[in-house]
Amino acid sequence: MLTVQQHSRLGKEILQDCNLAQLTTQQGQHLKQSLWEHGVIVVRKQKLTATQLKDFAIQTFGDSTLGRRPKPLDPEIDPDLQSPGVSILGNPKGISQEVVGKFTWVWHHDKDHLPKTEGLDMNSLYVVMLYGVEIPLEGTDGQPHTTNFLDLVEAYHNLDSQLKQQLEQLSMYHLSPISPQPGEEIPRKLHPIVSTHKVTGRKGLYLGSDTSILLGLEEKLEEAKQYWQNLFGAILDCTPVYAHVWQPGDIVFWDNSQVMHTGMPYDAEKYQRIALRVGVVHNT
């Protein structure tokens, strides 16, 4: 596995000196076109409330059926960081062992609600934006705090032709990482391992996470997990990892039809991290 801070496609910085709370229609179109082209884009030096971030997301990508029900404000967290449909990751209440979002410290796609949502196929354009409000000085490895991304369009083209042909005949079931209510059946949807992007027409891989189940192995879950891990290991061996080094005020956008990502651990007893997350489905 080769890890790079710069990447030929992922992580393009756009809209320098722009305030996303006052984005023009033309700038919004440029942002979306850049996202489809590059898979991961970055807008720096933002200063937004959670409500402004949500309003920007709706204005730019359209309203989403994936919004969360309103919750009472948490009195221990700045109200500017709270809004329905906006998640807070990290340790927003201060230095503490309690970290919201530790489950994201593994490689995955973020199509979290799609298996549960009627009428949305797994190849829907699910866009996530993550706004870094407070950034740790370093991760647990002593390196700058990063989120790491893997280009699955590039990964597909890096595989040998025989494996590509095999994968084009296969599909996986994908589960939502959100735990079901007691007695509720765990929903899952089938998605081809190789699919075509709805805007660019490029072929790429979709792997979900290590809970994904290869079609035909529904009753052999250990074998399904081993298959996924072997395939993902082969992809990591031939595809460089883009590491986004965070600065306060960064908003990183990624298109989950094109990339996987993993959060990186940090010492929550030494540093505070506050990140606001919004996920939307863009209807083309």
Residues 80-137 pLDDT 10s = 999 988 999 999 998 877 888 888 889 998 876 676 677 777 788 999 999 999 999 9
pTM of the model: 0.93
Range of the domain at 11: 3-62+109-178+186-278
Q: Are 59 and 245 in contact (CB under 8 A)?
A: no
Q: Is 254 among the domain residues? A: yes
What residue type is 2 in one-letter code?
L
Q: Are 178 and 112 in contact (CB under 8 A)?
A: yes
Q: Which pLDDT tens digits describe the chain residue by residue (284 residues)?
A: 667 777 889 999 999 999 999 999 999 999 999 999 999 999 999 999 999 999 999 999 986 655 556 778 899 999 999 998 899 999 999 887 788 888 888 999 887 667 667 777 778 899 999 999 999 999 988 899 999 999 999 999 999 999 999 999 999 998 776 666 666 776 788 899 999 999 999 999 999 999 899 999 999 999 999 999 999 999 999 999 999 999 999 999 999 999 999 999 999 999 999 999 999 988 76
Phi, psi for residue 183 in degrees, rounded to 5: 85, -10
**Residue located via tokens 């959100």:** 178
Q: Are 145 and 266 in contact (CB under 8 A)?
A: yes
Q: Is 91 among the domain residues? A: no
Q: Is 51 among the domain residues? A: yes
Residue from 148, 171, 132, 157 nearest 10 by CA: 148
Total structural domains in the chain?
1
As given in the structure block, the two tokens for residue 238 are: 């031939």
Q: Is 268 among the domain residues? A: yes
Q: Is 218 among the domain residues? A: yes
Residue from 204, 183, 202, 184 nearest 193 by CA: 204
Q: Is 262 among the domain residues? A: yes
As given in the structure block, the two tokens for residue 247 are: 């600065």
d(CA 213, CA 221): 7
Q: Are 149 and 233 in contact (CB under 8 A)?
A: no
Residue from 259, 277, 265 nearest 108 by CA: 259
Specify the CATH number for the domain of residue 192.
3.60.130.10
Q: Is 82 among the domain residues? A: no
Q: Is 219 among the domain residues? A: yes
24, 27, 29, 34: CA torsion to nearest 10: -160
